[in-house]
Amino acid sequence: MNIAVPIKLVPDLVEELELNDDGSDLDHDALTYKINEFCDHALEEALQLKEAHGGSVTVLALDRDEADKALFTALAKGADRAIKVTGIDENTGTLTAAHAFRAALAGVEFDVLLTGVQAPDDREGQLGVLLASLLEIPHVSAVSEVSFDGGTVTLHKEFAGGVLARYQVAPKVVLGIQSARQAPRYAPVSRVRQLMKEASLDEIEVESPTNTSPEVRRVFRPTAGRGAEMLAGTTEDVAARIAELVLAHRGAR
């Protein structure tokens, strides 16, 4: 089966996050970007599936400075094709990104599409859901342990409370990968550098979709809390202290 992996590039938190002048967004120029950790797991799972079952792995990323490095790294790890999706604002929202990936995927043959289950700028894990809905195919999220069995895809989906379900799905399908079966592999720098010299990335230009993401007017820095009070002592002591706090808080209202 052929696998497509759209990856997201997210700010590298090793640098301090800065807001732009009007306070509506991060100051993207001051940041460096790297592959979203969950997307790295999606890529690893795709490569593992390819090694076990054959087929091909195509990786897609929206164009930005670090996209080349991320895509060449994916090729160095063993992906067969890397596509840079151009023509849209690099700091776009998830819905716009989903539209762009959908358009780029028109030229890609795939049976299974793996996304990272979430990203720092997509905590709800919308990318996979949106892509599935735009492509009109099913979607399963919080996925691990994917395997191909004949024409079907078997996988584990994690629910809240430690419940794990086993699914069998027929392709095409979008899977939001929670974790790969092993930690993402290391891409030797010499391979990446050699590919940068010798290989080239496919570029697919998409029409910039009308920005359907919500407009952000103001971003706030998180305010530091006052810290927590740890309750200790016997159950009775703790209960009494909680009652006291609740009453005091109600009183304050």
Interacting residues with another protein (CB under 8 A): 12, 14-16, 34, 183, 185-194
Is 47 or 155 the residue whose CB approaches another protein more closely? 47
Report in angstroms how near the CB of residue 186 gets to another protein at its nearest. Answer: 4
Q: Where are the alpha helices (DSSP H) in the chain?
A: 37-53, 67-77, 94-105, 126-135, 189-198, 235-252
What are phi and psi for residue 211, nearest 5 degrees? -65, 105
Report in angstroms how near the CB of residue 190 gets to another protein at its nearest. Answer: 3
3-state SS assignment for residue 96: helix
Report in angstroms how near the CB of residue 140 gets to another protein at its nearest. Answer: 28
Is 43 or 206 the residue whose CB approaches another protein more closely? 43
Beta-strand (E) ranges in 135-188? 139-149, 152-158, 164-169, 173-177
Is 34 or 99 the residue whose CB approaches another protein more closely? 34
Report in angstroms how near the CB of residue 66 gets to another protein at its nearest. Answer: 10
Q: How many helices (H) and strands (E) does the chain have?
A: 6, 11
Q: How far is CA 225 from CA 26, 155, 219, 228, in A?
A: 22, 41, 18, 8
Is 190 or 210 the residue whose CB approaches another protein more closely? 190
Is 24 or 194 the residue whose CB approaches another protein more closely? 194
Report in angstroms how near the CB of residue 12 gets to another protein at its nearest. Answer: 7
